[in-house]
Amino acid sequence: GDFRLTVLKGFKATMDVYQGGIPKLLIDCCSRVVRDFSLWDEVLYFKNDCGQSKDWIFDQIILDKSFLTSYGNGRIYRIEEIDEKMTPLSKFPNPKFKTFKEYFKKQYNVKIKEDKQFMVVAYRKKKEVDANGKKREVIDKIHLVPELLLPTGLTDEMRNNRHAMRDLARFTQIPPERR
């Protein structure tokens, strides 16, 4: 079938020390496949059209999967928890904003349509310097709105469709002379 996908192209750089202690930089092309619908659309599809249970959707579609934000700088998050007690109308951690919905409207000019959706949780590690000048790692818990997340990667159905894989390869496999 026809799959709605976007291929984001970029590059990755790695540096390593090789024989004789010589540092070498490797720069290579890479791509990421993003599905052209939100996580919330996918949840509704599997729930309403396919009759899948909530637990199946959580385990197979959301948890331990990566999603691209459709706002801001397009950061990618791996979802580790689902918080069914929170919605976009829940209290936002920063007192400057009353709710998550208000935060996204004022900060990114994004209007959240579905107020009753649950929130998903990702964790982000960052390094901070404490009062003594020592570096320490801090883990932030980040609540995200499924409606504003785009699934990345391919589903098993897509992977098993050789026509889709052949079409996708035209965009993701770059011959050496074009790199």
Compute the residue count for the chain.
179
Residue with the larger pLDDT of the pair 61 and 5: 61
- Please write the tens of the pLDDT for every residue from 36-53: 889 999 899 899 999 999
- Please write the tens of the pLDDT for every residue from 103-134: 999 999 999 999 999 999 999 988 888 888 88
| Nearest by Cα to 86 from 106, 103, 72, 109 | 103
CA separation for the pair 69, 149 (Å, rounded): 5
* Number of neighbours of residue 94 by Cβ within 10 angstroms: 8
Cα angle 81, 150, 72; round to 5 = 95
Question: How would you write the chain as a 3-class SS string?
Answer: CCCCEEEEEEEEEEEEEEHHHEEEEEEEEEEEEEECCCHHHHHHHHHHHCCCCHHHHHHHHHCCCEEEECCCCCCEEECCEEECCCCCCCECCCCCCCEHHHHHHHHHCCCCCCCCCCEEEEEEEEEEECCCCCEEEEEEEEEECHHHEEEECCCHHHHCCHHHHHHHHHHHCCCHHHC
Average pLDDT of the chain, as a whole number: 86
Q: Is the pLDDT assigned to residue 1 strictly greater than 50? A: no
- CA count, 13 A, side-chain hemisphere, 37: 9
